[in-house]
Structure 1
Amino acid sequence: MTPAPAGLTCRLCGRADLRSVLDLGAAPPCQRFMTADQLDEPEPGLPLHLRLCADCLLLQIPPLLSPADNFTDYAYYSSFSSSWVAHARRFVERAARELLPADAFVVEVAANDGYLLQHVAARGIRCLGIEPSENCSDAARRRGVPVHTAFLDKATAERVRAEHGPADLVIANNVWAHVPDVVGFTRALATLVAEHGRISIEVHHALSLVRDAQFDTIYHEHFQYWTVLAAERALAVAGLRLVDVELLPTHGGSIRLWAVPAASDVPVSGAVARVRQLERTAGLDTPAGYQGLAPAVGQIRDGLLRLLLDARAAGQRVVGYGAAGKGQTLLNYAGVRPDLLAWIADKNPYKHGRYAPGTRIPVVDVDRIEQERPDLILVLPWNLREEITGQLSGVGRWGGRLVFAQPRLTVIDPGAAAIEGAA
């Protein structure tokens, strides 16, 4: 593995021994959708180069953007995914049943549009969201969720604790990858939680990334990629202890980490050792275990390009579905432009009439699918395969098919739910 240039250090342990794992070239930030009057303006092309710390084994990219660049005005609304909202509801039901006292206080960091805390508030449980983006904060408040609009840092955590008291449960879903100051952020989580409380962190599992070549989860707002091994080390720096791990299907394979203050008497679940062993079996406890990622990613890119080029040669109309951040990594890395993918349909009206970063592919309302009846629809958020296949089941009426580039290139007849191996 190639060493990183001089000057790059690990954001967790501070060591300078970073090794190259996967170089995706350069791309603009994945949520910077352009308006029509911006199309003749330049876009930043920032490196997407995944590296591994040979000492603490944290996967990471350089912090080329600040959280303010990414999240002050944020294009992603969690509630547009019905399956994600249902996932959050089930979590709240379980927490209320098994963990929370009658007078509980719940804090969610990166509360987005209230997709989760709406279920907490509906139960009459005192709660607070901490969310940096104004537009998402406003959406959460409209759902009846109280929100403190700020980035989580030491000062914010101390202020929230002073005003509201310590939290019985602190929730941090899909945010631990988004913070360049991972040590400071984790210490802020520790400040929020009560001595008897728990912290629940959900994050994409680096085991899934490496094993299934899920390279499209790599983009500039994801600064690091977590194994349980690296997570334990980060939690320990903040005076926290990992006591349980759950393997989740969300986002193509995630982990839910349960942490408590180090002095807590909560015992460690056997699941922690079991997931550690899964990572060791995959080779993720040494730098050598990451060397197969780059070749696998190249195969995914090549297979998708062959399909798109063949479709164009055959005169087929190909469009995209779901203008998710992961899709922007895939399209930019593969060099896909509007000549291969005419437009991307998305349910989020915030993105309608805009253009995807880098590729300049227009984003349109989902009604356009029925109006134009394309031959092939490339589903970019492939992790929501079941949900989206159901949403697009009607395209089979005109012979339309769905394409998934990952984890294996497949073409689906959504009406018959049949899968054809495409590569």
Structure 2
Amino acid sequence: MGGDPRPGTRCRACGGADGRVVLDLGDQPPWDRMPHRDVPLPDPAWPLRMWLCAGCGLAQLEDDADAVEELHGVEPRAMAEQSDRSVGRLAREGLVRPGGRVAEFGSPHGESWLPRLTGRGMTAVDPAAAPPDGVDLVVDFYGLLHEPDQAAALDRRVRLLRPGGTLALQLLPLGTVLRDGQWFDLRHGHYAYWSLPALDAALRRHGLGVHRAWWYPLSGGTLLVTARAGAAPDEATRALLDEERAAGVTDPSGLGRLQDAADGAHRLREWLAAERDAGRTVAAYGAASRAVPLVCRAGLDAGLLAAVGDASPAKQGRRMPGSDVPVVSPAELAALRPDRVVLFLPELAAEVRAALPAVEDGGGRWVVLDPAPHLLEPDRALSRG
């Protein structure tokens, strides 16, 4: 488990040099470099390792690949519904109000929150041109994840706030990644994997403190966090902080469980080989960033996985990085009449099954990784047969 860091490694949040590698996925192609199908293998690859800072507890990408093109996906309904819930929660807390000013740091993982916020009477402000007296609310929708310099990124967000203003962040906490063994959430271009305790400590170095945190089931457990100057966590948030500490989110031995989970990726390949030998065709759905390390770590190819369906036109006609597995449209996926479809984004099960009834109508079964492949029971309500 773990290993020695690259010489010269410094924490992206506190600048400390004391730490260790807690997850090593070897050389991996960047998830956002999705080649066209006619581009020959092999693809360029770079080391993909998670480094844990011993000083501040931030788990982070040790090094990164060269900057590459980022393909935007189609926002799933589940993500849009979560954005509605998050903005609704901020409104109920009195943080979204007519006449208030808001600045947003967004990401490729969903649509902007600004239409929801301006629709409630707030005025959107460009973070690069904020008024000198600041804004009332800064929202970060997975934006922090994409910042190589976490200290500078937090400073930019805090400096935008007027006195008494609030920073709101939505993120997938390290506690969820660790609890569910989601080692494949480590990928190039995603620089920081914040636990709630490490985030609280970092914000306090920048003059804020976590005040509230609300848990939602998206992606296994997503947090909406608010922070402001002089704030102390409420009782429910203290319970979430204690829960993550107990899980070992700042402990190298605790995070070592992610390496154990990653080392079990071969089981997916073995299952696919058994399905092929039984004469069954297997495809997958969701050419998402988290699918890339999974496909590469398991060593999958088109002989085992016929295709990956995805609703994003920008990804169709390409292939999974590091593999010859093609990315196809949902209609093309259904036309394959697969016997099994592995859902790389299990939180989208209801949405995808409703959109692709032809899979089950044709006798196919949906599969989730839990962590071994698990067949979902047929949903008769969705069937058109």
Q: What TM-score do the two structures reach when normalised by structure 2? A: 0.90
Matched, 1:235 2:203: yes
Matched, 1:286 2:251: yes
CA pair 226-175 structure 1, distance change in 2 beyond 3 A? same
Higher relative contact order (CA 8 A, sep 6+): 2
CA pair 101-125 structure 1, distance change in 2 beyond 3 A? closer
Pick from 178, 182, 187: which aligns with 2:150? 182
Q: Which amino acid aligns with 2:70?
A: Y
The aligned counterpart of 1:131 is none
SS of the equivalent of 1:349 reads coil
Counterpart-to-counterpart distance in 2, 1:250 and 1:162: 35
The aligned counterpart of 2:327 is 363
Contact 2:211/2:228, CA 8 A, preserved across alignment: yes
CA pair 49-400 structure 1, distance change in 2 beyond 3 A? same
SS of the equivalent of 1:180 reads coil
Pick from 55, 59, 71: which aligns with 1:75? 71
Cα offset, 1:384, TM superposition: 2.5
Cα offset, 1:42, TM superposition: 5.2
Q: Number of matched residues?
A: 378
What are the equivalent positions in structure 2 for 1:193-342 lying under 5 Å apart?
Answer: 193-262=161-230, 266=231, 268-299=233-264, 301-342=265-306
Q: Which amino acid aligns with 1:58?
A: L
Cα offset, 1:306, TM superposition: 1.8
Matched, 1:51 2:19: no
Counterpart-to-counterpart distance in 1, 2:177 and 2:30: 20
Pick from 74, 80, 83: which aligns with 1:85? 80
CA pair 298-111 structure 1, distance change in 2 beyond 3 A? closer
SS of the equivalent of 1:221 reads coil
CA pair 59-377 structure 1, distance change in 2 beyond 3 A? same
Cα offset, 1:404, TM superposition: 1.3
Counterpart-to-counterpart distance in 1, 2:292 and 2:348: 16
The aligned counterpart of 1:145 is none
Cα offset, 1:216, TM superposition: 1.2
What are the equivalent positions in structure 2 for 1:96-135 lying under 5 Å apart?
Answer: 96-97=91-92, 98-110=94-106, 112=108, 114-128=111-125
Contact 1:166/1:192, CA 8 A, preserved across alignment: yes
The aligned counterpart of 2:16 is 15
Cα offset, 1:285, TM superposition: 4.2
Task: String of CA shifts for 1:287-321, please: whole Å, max 9, x gaps.
Answer: 3222322223323x132112100111112111111
Contact 1:52/1:59, CA 8 A, preserved across alignment: yes
Task: Note the aligned Cα RMSD (angstroms).
Answer: 2.3
Cα offset, 1:259, TM superposition: 0.9
Matched, 1:95 2:90: yes
Task: String of CA shifts for 1:212-262, please: whole Å, max 9, x gaps.
Answer: 110111101111211111101221222221111122222222222211134
Q: Which amino acid aligns with 2:81?
A: A
The aligned counterpart of 1:161 is 130
Cα offset, 1:393, TM superposition: 4.1
CA pair 8-323 structure 1, distance change in 2 beyond 3 A? same
Counterpart-to-counterpart distance in 2, 1:411 and 1:254: 25
Matched, 1:24 2:25: yes
Task: String of CA shifts for 1:301-358, please: whole Å, max 9, x gaps.
Answer: 1321121001111121111111000001100111111111111111011111112211
Q: What TM-score do the two structures reach when normalised by structure 1? A: 0.83
Task: String of CA shifts for 1:28-65, please: whole Å, max 9, x gaps.
Answer: 1101111244x137532111112212222211122324
Q: Which amino acid aligns with 1:15?
A: G
Cα offset, 1:13, TM superposition: 2.3
